[in-house]
A and B are shown apart, each in its own frame.
Chain A
Amino acid sequence: MDMDMDMDMDTKKKCTRFFINDNMDVLIEILKRLDEKSIGVAACVCRLWCALTRNDALWEHLCFRQLSPPREGVRTVVAALGGYRRLYTLCVKPVLTRLGKRKDMWTTHEVDLSLSLFCVDYYERLFLAGAATPPSSLIFLCKAG
């Protein structure tokens, strides 16, 4: 009888609970596959998740996931202009919504256009640094069509 109880204890120890926060690589892989809304929800779960969702790599994936090998150098440029999260929120999402396209139909033209608009916004912010008025070159994207 004692031997049986010992064995149960052993198997119990072996079946320790899988805690996702201890396996960040898996967590990141999962988060990478979410859409923007779900990432927003995930950010509210706990501090760790919130920090992870702020990671630009996640947003890079969201922006250019459907495109085959990402062009080299894009990452440095985007990082310099404000990061992928900003690129997504300011340009990619409105462009996609306006053009009524699903992300899997994205081509380099949409990428180029979004990057150009993103660059104009960065430049405008440089110009208006400290001024009360916010940059407005992208307002046409926000206005209802």
Chain B
Amino acid sequence: MKRELTNHDNFSSSCSSSSKPPMWLCDADDELFAVLGYSVKPSDMADVAQKIEHLEQVMCSVENDGLSQLASDTTHYNPSDLFSWLESMISGLNPTPDFDSAVNRMAVDSDFGSDLTAIPGKAVYPNPRAKPPSPAKKLKLSPQETESSESIVMVDSQENGIRLVHSLMACAEAVQKEDFKLAEALVKNIGFLAVSQAGAMRKVATYFAEALARRIYRLYPDSAFTDLLQMHFYETCPYLKFAHFTANQAILESFAGRDLVHVVDFSMKQGMQWPPLLQALALRPGGPPRFRLTAVGPPSTDNTDQLKEIGRKLGQLANSINVEFEYRGLVTNSLADLTAALLERREGETVAVNSIFDLHPLLARPGAIETVLRVVTELKPEIFTVVEQEANHNGSVFSDRFTEALHYYSTLFDSLESCGGGSDEDRVMSEIYLGRQICNVVACEGADRVERHETLGQWRRRLGAAGFEAVHIGSNAHKQASMLLELFGGGDGYRVEERHGCLMLGWHTRPLVATSAWRLAS
């Protein structure tokens, strides 16, 4: 049964024109229904009919996920009482948005022009362009009932998906122009639109909406537990493992034939990168070299000396596989505070410097990246492995940055959705980890905005200017990386690509992470 698009007023009046039952039937259950086992009061019949119709329409437009959720998660009480059972079914399929509750009660009353017209209350925009109605595409506005707080809102996912992206862009534009009133109004509606989506789109939109809201209201995010979140990210998806394995392969190859090696790691974190390298060195023909590791990290938030602890464990590992191991931990707030003297290069050793996602934060402070690159050149490394996100999130125009980030993180979240590693908890933590990054890119500015990702091309220029030239990462790394990705499932979604000797890991056609290796230009 097809219904035309109606506006708010028409719908209310059609409601009130339904006939009322005679008084003498009001209290007893309707006999005909009672015979079938349902208890429906005659006074409720009109509402029951309406609700059945709504339910039918909702079930048509909800995606498969919603239906199975109905079957397993929603609790049904007393199905013979049709009136309340239908209410619970409908509310089960259309949960009220969990965006800020204060926001829910406010009406959107400004007209934004373009193709968005505001409707008061919890609703989504009607389509002003005439479109041929089809069974799945129906839009209804909620009647403003004073007694019930449940709104019956049918949404068309696909159209709202497009509206959602447009709203996000429009909001970013508004923020760019510093029209915060408009931006505020838009961000509230993004919340509702986001809820109408499913899966990755919903999550990405929610994070971006939160980040925009934080920017507008100047509520900056905190950064606790990042290490823990990164561990879960390590477990769930291959990006970090890819980074570690490819960098290790490049380092291993550069250490060929050397007996005294020194790795300077800017990205120590939990030290998960080094066990495989130690093991590969232990098994290399000719035996392992003497291995020295200098780990650089920020001060621990709790009172433990985390760097020291990690060094101890790595030492234990090295000991069991008979690799001579020396370790030093350097605690510093910023890589720019390091000097070559501190890093203590010794005579006769082959140095490798490693940075996994740790160069881009330096772009937040002027001069920092140049200092660090200079220090690295002073170490005269045999190889400098750099892994960075393959995206430009450091543009000077906010709305451009926003659009780039939206595309990048949408792809990233899509890949999270499809790949199988880790438990559900791991996946949620990974999403929070990425959500933090989104928040930083969108809501922060100046020295606080540390997620200043740049593309490989941009890094190539910077490193070239500092005196580095690219080292081609060999085919062994490519093979290992491809195999690793096969293990992660995701059904061919992950792609390893080689570009000018650097390896890129991407999801379908979009590269997301790039590993590159550098040495001093001769």
B276 an interface residue at 8 Å Cβ cutoff?
yes
Given the interface pairs A73-B283, A81-B320, A126-B317, the reply to whether A99 lies near B272 with Cβ below 8 Å is no
Q: Looking at the complex, which one of A116, A117, A139 makes contact with B280 (CB distance below 8 Å)?
A: A116
Number of contact residues on B: which range applies?
35 or more
* B426 contacts across to A, CB distance below 8 A: 136, 139
Complex Cα–Cα for A122 and B275 (A): 9
Residue of A with least CB distance to B310: A127
- Are B235's CB and A139's CB within 8 A? yes
Residue of A with least CB distance to B491: A145
Given the interface pairs A99-B487, A119-B276, the reply to whether A112 lies near B480 with Cβ below 8 Å is yes
* A109 contacts across to B, CB distance below 8 A: 476, 479-480, 483
Complex Cα–Cα for A81 and B321 (A): 8
A45 an interface residue at 8 Å Cβ cutoff?
no
Interface of A is mostly: helix
Q: Looking at the complex, which one of A76, A80, A110, A123 makes contact with B483 (CB distance below 8 Å)?
A: A110
- Are A143's CB and B322's CB within 8 A? no
B488 an interface residue at 8 Å Cβ cutoff?
yes
- Are A137's CB and B423's CB within 8 A? no
- Are B283's CB and A123's CB within 8 A? no
A34 an interface residue at 8 Å Cβ cutoff?
no
- Are A112's CB and B422's CB within 8 A? no
* B489 contacts across to A, CB distance below 8 A: 98, 140, 143-145
What number of residue pairs across chains A and B have CB atoms under 8 A from each other?
101
* A120 vs chain B, min Cβ distance (A): 5
- Are B282's CB and A140's CB within 8 A? no
* Chain A 40-73: CB-based contact to B (< 8 A → 1; otherwise 0): 0000000000000000000000000000000101
* B477 vs chain A, min Cβ distance (A): 11
* A95 contacts across to B, CB distance below 8 A: 487
Given the interface pairs A73-B283, A116-B276, the reply to whether A137 lies near B235 with Cβ below 8 Å is yes
A26 an interface residue at 8 Å Cβ cutoff?
no
A113 an interface residue at 8 Å Cβ cutoff?
yes
- Are A140's CB and B422's CB within 8 A? yes
Residue of A with least CB distance to B313: A126
Number of contact residues on A: which range applies?
20 to 34
Complex Cα–Cα for A145 and B317 (A): 31
- Are B313's CB and A74's CB within 8 A? no
* A117 contacts across to B, CB distance below 8 A: 276
Interface of B is mostly: helix
- Are A137's CB and B245's CB within 8 A? no
Q: Looking at the complex, which one of B282, B320, B486 makes contact with A99 (CB distance below 8 Å)?
A: B486
* B276 contacts across to A, CB distance below 8 A: 115-117, 119-120
* A64 vs chain B, min Cβ distance (A): 13
B509 an interface residue at 8 Å Cβ cutoff?
no
Complex Cα–Cα for A112 and B282 (A): 12
* A81 contacts across to B, CB distance below 8 A: 279, 320-321
* A139 contacts across to B, CB distance below 8 A: 235, 421-423, 426
A77 an interface residue at 8 Å Cβ cutoff?
yes
Complex Cα–Cα for A94 and B276 (A): 18
Q: Looking at the complex, which one of A98, A126, A144 makes contact with B487 (CB distance below 8 Å)?
A: A98
Complex Cα–Cα for A144 and B420 (A): 7
* B441 contacts across to A, CB distance below 8 A: none
- Are A119's CB and B279's CB within 8 A? yes
Given the interface pairs A76-B321, A136-B422, the reply to whether A120 lies near B283 with Cβ below 8 Å is no
Since A120-B275, A126-B316, A137-B234 are in contact, a sample of 20 more A-B pairs with Cβ atoms closer than 8 Å, ordered by chain A residue number, is: A76-B322, A77-B282, A80-B320, A99-B483, A110-B483, A112-B480, A113-B483, A115-B283, A116-B245, A119-B275, A120-B272, A120-B276, A126-B317, A136-B422, A137-B272, A139-B423, A140-B235, A140-B421, A141-B487, A144-B420
B residues lining the A interface (CB < 8 Å): 234-236, 238, 245, 270-272, 275-276, 278-280, 282-283, 285, 287, 313-314, 316-317, 320-322, 419-423, 426, 476, 479-480, 483-484, 486-489, 491
